Amino acid sequence: MVRTVHIFLEEAEQSGYLFPVIIKDIVAENKKVEYHAAIAVQQHDLVVDQFGANAWDNVSYTLKEIEPVDGELGYRVKSTGKLVDKAEYEEILYEYWGNVAAQEGTSYADIFLTEGEPSENIANKRVDIIAKYSHDIPVELVTVSDSQTYEVFLSFNSKTISADGYEDFHFVIDNEDGEWKVFQGLSWAEPYPENPTGD
């Protein structure tokens, strides 16, 4: 026996019989929007609590360009900002550590593992020299990209630090897709408690 059930189209749409996957996606998206809206309200209220009722009416910002959030690995000479290829990067590093070794009265092989040397030998290396001189390495690894990324630092009522010690309010924007968008939302540094509770 075949049983036929008739329901009106409008009723079927409302109950989710026709498009159950789409409705689940819409519900999930609505929850996500509500979640982000709640965070935005909390952030707004924190700024108002820390800087006053008119804080968002008296906000100013400064931009600081930072490394792009996405791109290719690159090599840069710190003193000039010039990009170099991997071979030049390695040559500069080897020369730097060779000079450091000579200055310390030792050899490159006493500081680093050499090609083919077993990794167990790392315990015999002069890691103290690496720690002492690594901050002066003349080249660095960077992200190379056509896009730009900025940290946007905020001040409210001409203040960057609240009376309670909240500071460093900032977010990050980039134009990776050709349009400026927020890459990292609003964040800040909270004051350390005078008497930590361990929570």
| Dihedral sign, Cα of residue 160, residue 164, residue 168, residue 171 | negative
Which residues are CB-neighbours of 97 under 8 A, at least 6 positions away?
A: 108, 111, 112, 133
Q: Phi-psi region for residue 71, left (φ > 0), alpha (ψ -120 to 50) or beta?
A: left
Half-sphere exposure of 51 toward its Cβ, with a 13 Å CA cutoff? Answer: 24
| Predicted confidence (pLDDT) per residue in 24-40, tens digit | 677 677 788 888 788 88
Half-sphere exposure of 38 toward its Cβ, with a 13 Å CA cutoff? Answer: 6
Question: CA-based angle 81:84:89, to the nearest 5?
Answer: 105
Tens place of pLDDT per residue across the chain (199 aa): 555 444 555 555 555 555 555 556 776 777 888 887 888 889 999 999 999 999 999 999 999 999 887 788 899 999 999 999 999 999 999 999 999 999 999 988 888 888 888 888 888 888 889 899 999 999 999 888 888 899 999 999 999 999 999 999 999 999 888 899 999 999 999 988 777 666 5
